[in-house]
Amino acid sequence: MNHVREFTIVPSLPEILEPLRQVAYNMWWTWNPAAADLFRRLDVDLWRATGHNPVMLLSQVSQERLEQTARDDAYVAQLCRVMDSFYVYHHSRTWFEDNYPNQRDQLVAYFSFEFGLHESMPIYSGGLGVLAGDHLKSASDLGIPLVAVGLAYRQGYFTQQLTEDGWQLESYPTYDLHEWCATPVRDELGHPVKITVPLGAQTLAAAVWLVRVGRVKLYLLDADLPENSPELRAVTARLYGGDAGMRVRQEILLGVGGMRALRAVGLKPNVCHMNDGHAGFLALERIRQAMRDQGLSFREAREVTSGGNLFTTHTPVPAGIDRFEPRLVEQHLGWMADELGISINELMATGREHPERLDEPFTMPLLALRMSYRSNGVSKLHGEVARGMWQGYWPGIPREEVPIFHVTNGIHVRTWQSQQMADLFDQYLAPGWQEAPEGDPMWKRVDEIPDAELWRVHVRRREWMIGALRRRLRNQLKGRGAPPAEVKTAEEVLDPEALTVGFARRFAPYKRATLIFRNMERLKALVNDAARPIQFVFAGKSHPNDGAGKELIKQVSQACSRPELRRRVIFLENYDMGLARVLVQGVDVWLNNPLMMHEASGTSGMKVVPNGGLNLSCLDGWWPEAYNGENGWAIGDGRLYEDLGYQDHVESESLFNLLEREIIPMFYDRTTDGVPRRWIARIKESLKTIGPVFNTNRMLREYTARMYVPAMLRAAKVTENNFALGRALSGWKERLRKHWGEVQILDVHAEGNGVLKVGDALPLRARVRLGSISPEDIAVEAYFGPLDANGEITTGQAVCLSHTKSEGGSEHVFAGEVPCRRSGRNGFAIRVVPRHDDLADRYDQGLVVWG
């Protein structure tokens, strides 16, 4: 069949239903239930069978059904209402226009390895992708001028199925991109837009697809083209599939190819936001483009482009970081060094912690950190962890001054909240409550929601959830080939009135999915209590190469099969965004018990809050910022033990004690009308304290104020007047770097006997040799603060000393005072750091000299 010519047959929608096509090709429908309901009403069985995919549904629904629907006045009326909302949404003024009118013509490009927009587009694996999808939705809601770039994985992540004994099997169905809510981008002549990227001796071609996410455009790169070799066609086959060579090719395509794709569709972003280190190569491509377009040198182009680069790190442990062997990077990206006019060792140095070590791996987050104007972690605790992880890149810089701050993650509330709960909030809080910031009086109105009404809505959602879970479990057992009698038992699992706990996430060992099973006797007693039962729902995938994670799934699955637990503890296969919505909208408690300091943020627990669920979590990730003692429960007290087995024991005991002594009694403590008043009070406290803060609208406002707009202004500043500032800064940094070895602190003198009172000041004087460097180019500081048991300064602060005189040409005297603000053992140290009014960050070169 080598002579097959392709053509496309599209559904013949009656004219009155033609707007359905416009809605189907904009992911706006995923957070507007009335729009999604239009497709469900066409054919509910087909809607489920297509995985809630409106494009696939429209291509398969019968013409007879379409004609019948066109004559349904109620359906047409709903379609008109949805289209009115669609039009108003896309043409109304936005938060960004009102607050940043001078930046309306700017553009932020957001690069991510995965995007979780909806289960019908499986180009995500877990939290990173779902956060990226929610990021785009809130950017659309707020009107932020943002465009996104990712890869179109034709086999997605993987489809999970368990064997009879609970072992995870993976399958990789191939998806047709034409059946997604995506369209191929074409040029003025109607030809598909394609880009090419050199990969060593080969050149990879990729087509560009467009996904509309409200007002935001997401461009996906597809390498499955006939002109590519089978090896290169596989680059966009699987998310997190293949070996290190495949990963480096994917990341070059995302970063380098992504920048080229934006140029190919006529977009030139002012700011590029790297969501984790996977997109780090975009920084090199931006430099290359600036050198070619503007005639800049490598160092000048680096200075100019880095002012518009931003980096968000999501990894709290070294094992989760992409590190590539030097030969892999040289093999695939050696051509970039030639294009940049630098040696391959200079290129490799951009991703090495110790640039002089030629055998050191190339580290993607280091490349992103070095090439970015600002960098952030994704929770307050993660910011602290990230500063500790990367402190070695800034040798001599105190941990708290490492230039990585935090923007805590959030969720897109409209995506995750049930329509019934949203209607209730609209009634008592007023429409638009999702956009109300922290401190808005609207949040106080949560107390006005009648307890009984809030409880009834939540109970109905739990009942709906259990019905959906039974259907899913029944299909799961059928797919496994279970006998009919066993399949029938799926109708009897779970109790619609019992306290229901959900645990659903990636099955990595640090997330400790089996912690609840450490004490099987206590667990059996809890789930089999006829008067006050509790039940658990587990779901999640393990990476195909993670044998330890698969073993955890097997242990949970086998525990669920025990006769004492099988009706009260279940594991559901193939966790995706659809199942996640079902769970977060119906569970009473969301369980999260990771090993401390291993969760960067975690967002799954945030999703239960607007649905009336409560969190039961270790004090890791986002939970330390949210927990106040009355809005959920904390497992353990946040302490870390050297013995991890003992850590598990302590926190398992804490988990059971909370369930037995607080959570179960509070849930079943009902007033005469059957309402658990104390439980409802905790739900309302959760809504009032967590709801306004842990959402992506707040998150995007914070990104805009702290990263996007400053980067826009910075990028404009270094490029104006024919890149005058960028060129000048590049030259200044080069001179400083060349002569920094000449800087010495010769001596330091502190007056007095070393004993002072609170409120006093300690006079200091330092003599410094600067060599060829001018005093105007440096700052001499006293870094001071309380001392720990090892004599190290903790929570230090800096005060600048003033230049008082010059001695002997290159020697200078600086003087100042250290304020005495708190009693106890304190200390100070003198340091010299670069100083320039236009530095993006004074530590971006890692230069510091201590006395």
- Can you name the residues that pair with 146 across neighbouring β-strands? 108
Count CB atoms within 10 A of the CB of residue 343: 11
Which pairing describes strands 309-312 and 374-377: parallel, antiparallel, or unpaired?
A: parallel
Stretch 45-73: mean pLDDT: 95
Helix (H, G, I), strand (E, B) or coil at 387: helix
Alpha helices in 528-632 (DSSP H): 547-560, 577-584, 623-626
Q: Which residues lie below 8 Å from residue 556, measured CB to CB, with a gap of 6+?
A: 166, 513, 514, 517, 538, 571
Mean pLDDT value of segment 561-580: 95
pLDDT of residue 11: 67
The pLDDT of residue 219: 98
CA torsion angle 393 398 402 407 (round to 10): 140
Residue 88 Cα to chain centre, angstroms: 29
pLDDT confidence of residue 574 = 96
Instruction: Check whether 126 has a pLDDT greater than 70.
Output: yes
Percent of the chain with pLDDT over 70: 99
Distance CA 251, CA 236 (A): 11
Residue type at 709 in one-letter notation:
V
Q: In this structure, which amino acid lies at residue 20?
A: L
Give strand pairing partners of 112: 275
pLDDT of residue 9: 67
Phi, psi of 478 (to 5 degrees): -60, -45
Chain segment 290-328, per-residue pLDDT in tens: 999 999 999 999 999 999 999 999 988 887 889 999 999
The backbone torsions φ and ψ at residue 358, rounded to the nearest 5 degrees and listed phi first, read -70, -20
What is the DSSP secondary-structure string of 15-26?
GGGTHHHHHHTB
Rounded to an integer, what distance in angstroms lies between the CA atom of residue 494 and that of residue 560? 12
Which 3 state secondary structure label does DSSP give 570? strand
* Distance from C-alpha of 654 to C-alpha of 666, rounded to nearest angstrom: 17
CA distances from 511 to 540, 592, 746 (A): 11, 8, 51
The rounded distance, in Å, linking the Cα atoms of 599 and 512 is 12
Q: Would you call 378 helix, strand, or coil by DSSP?
A: coil
Joined together, the tokens standing for residue 222 give 């597809």
Q: Is the pLDDT of residue 272 over 60?
A: yes
- Which of 498, 504, 496, 493 lies closest to 470 in space, CA to CA? 493
pLDDT at 7 over 70: no
**Edge-first strand listing for the sheet containing 802-807:** 744-750, 761-769, 811-819, 802-807
> Which alpha helices (H) appear in 51-145, and where do they start and end?
54-60, 63-70, 73-91, 95-99, 127-142
pLDDT on residue 396:
86
Global pTM value: 0.96
Distance CA 354, CA 349 (A): 8
**Over pLDDT 90: what percentage of the chain?**
87
DSSP 368-414: HHHT-SEEEESSHHHHHHHHHHTGGGSTTS-GGGSSEEE----B-HH
What sign does the CA torsion over 189, 192, 193, 195 have?
negative
Phi, psi angles (nearest 5°) of residue 88: -60, -45
8 A C-beta contact, residue 271 and residue 373: no
- Contact yes or no for 699/410 (Cβ under 8 A): yes
How do residues 455-480 score in pLDDT, each as one tens digit? 999 999 999 999 999 999 999 999 88
**Long-range pairs, 388-394, Cβ under 8 A, ≥24:** 389/316, 389/318, 390/365, 390/366, 392/353, 393/353, 393/366, 393/369, 393/846, 394/843, 394/846, 394/848
- The DSSP code sequence of 478-516 is HHTT--HHHHHGGGGSS-TTSEEEEEES---GGG-TTGG
Cα dihedral angle (786, 791, 796, 800), rounded to 10 degrees? 100
> Are 117 and 188 in contact, with CB atoms under 8 Å apart?
no
Asked if 624 and 381 touch (Cβ cutoff 8 Å), the reply is: yes
Q: Could you tell me if residue 591 is left (phi over 0), alpha (psi between -120 and 50 degrees) or otherwise beta?
A: beta
* Distance separating alpha carbons of residues 824 and 756, to the nearest angstrom: 10
Distance CA 538, CA 555 (A): 12
> Which tokens is 27 given?
């992911």
List pLDDT tens digits, range 221-249: 999 999 999 999 999 999 999 999 999 99
In angstroms, the CA 202 to CA 229 distance is: 9
Backbone angles phi, psi at 496, to 5 degrees: -60, -15
Asked if residues 603 and 561 have their Cβ atoms less than 8 Å apart, the reply is no
Residues 776-788 pLDDT 10s: 999 999 999 999 8
Structure-block tokens of residue 717: 């500043």
Q: Which residues have C-beta within 8 Å of that of residue 563, sequence separation ≥ 6?
A: none
Per-residue b/e over 458-468, b at no fewer than 16 CB within 10 Å? bbebbebbbeb
Q: Which long-range contacts (CB under 8 A, 24 or more apart) does 670-673 make?
A: 673/452
Per-residue confidence (pLDDT) for residue 392, from 0 to 100: 86
Lowest mean pLDDT among 165-169, 634-638, 709-713, 752-756: 752-756
Rounded distance, CA 605 to CA 613, Å? 9
User: Which single residue is written with the structure tokens 């903790």?
Assistant: 794
Beta bridge mates, 814: 766, 803
Which residue do the tokens 């442990």 mark?
317
**pLDDT score, position 612:** 98
How remote is the C-alpha of 334 from its chain's centroid?
A: 31
Does position 395 have pLDDT exceeding 60, yes or no? yes
Q: What is the DSSP string of 414-477?
A: HHHS-HHHHHHHHHHH-TTGGGPPTT-GGGGGGGGS-HHHHHHHHHHHHHHHHHHHHHHHHHHH
Characterize 661-687 residue by residue with b for buried, 16 or more Cβ atoms within 10 angstroms of its Cβ, and e for exposed: eebbebbbeeeeeebbeebbebbbbbb
DSSP 186: B
Confidence of residue 8 (pLDDT cuts 50, 70, 90): low
| Mean of all residue pLDDT scores within the chain | 94
pLDDT above 60 for 1:
no
HSE value, Cβ hemisphere, 13 Å, CA-based, for 98:
6
Amino acid in the structure at residue 764: L
Lowest-pLDDT range, 5-14, 346-355, 513-522, 669-678? Answer: 5-14
User: Cα separation of 33 and 37, whole Å?
Assistant: 6
